[in-house]
Amino acid sequence: MQYMESGGFRNHRFMRLTLLWTTLFLAAFWITNFAMYFDRMGLTPSSVQAYYLGSEVNFTSPKTFGAMLEVSHSHLPIQAVVILLLTHLLLFAPFKGETKLLFIYAAFASSLTNEGSGWLIRFVHPNFAVLKIIAFLTLQTTLAFLLISLGMFLYPGAGRMKRSASSGHKQKR
């Protein structure tokens, strides 16, 4: 823990290398998240509703309970691990406690809402499509912030983020 708090990992090339590769993989995850979303639907409630409820115009059927359960079964643990990793690393970044708390809540809540809103659209009411769009955009924005923050914190030369006064630690140069 002290190793992360003091920024000692920045001087350890293997730790930086593993975090760099992790960041690159998660950035690819972020990009493919956009691609998959826009391959299936858009940012209009009608496109989201058509995806979950089916469309006579596009000759698509409504999503079945089983198909949605299968997707949720794989999405939920992966999203939890990805967000755990990114928010855990955020704890060591030099942001105020309120900022950290905001992004921890935003990441987990938007991910869960993004996943749950599909169920709400399909089995409760089509108007939850607006919630799906908001949750998706919030999740993507939050993930982008976490990835960029990790990149900046990982490499001191990329903006040289300093420890916050609230942590009581000075960063070694």
Show the tokens assigned to 23.
């960041």
Helix (H) or strand (E) holding 29: helix 13-40
pLDDT in tens, 107-156: 999 999 999 999 999 999 999 999 999 999 999 999 999 999 888 877 66
Cα-based angle 137, 140, 145 (whole degrees, multiple of 5): 125
The alpha helices in 41-96, defined as continuous H runs, are 45-53, 65-90
Q: What is the chain's mean pLDDT, rounded? A: 86
* pTM metric for this prediction: 0.81
Strands, E, within 106-152: which ranges?
none
Give the span between the Cα atoms of 162 and 74, in whole angstroms: 38
pLDDT in tens, 50-81: 999 998 888 889 999 999 999 999 999 999 99
The pLDDT of residue 171: 44
CA distances from 129 to 14, 108, 119 (A): 44, 19, 10
Locate tokens 């970044």: which residue?
93
The pLDDT of residue 8: 58
The pLDDT of residue 51: 96
Give the span between the Cα atoms of 162 and 155, in whole angstroms: 12
The pLDDT of residue 87: 93
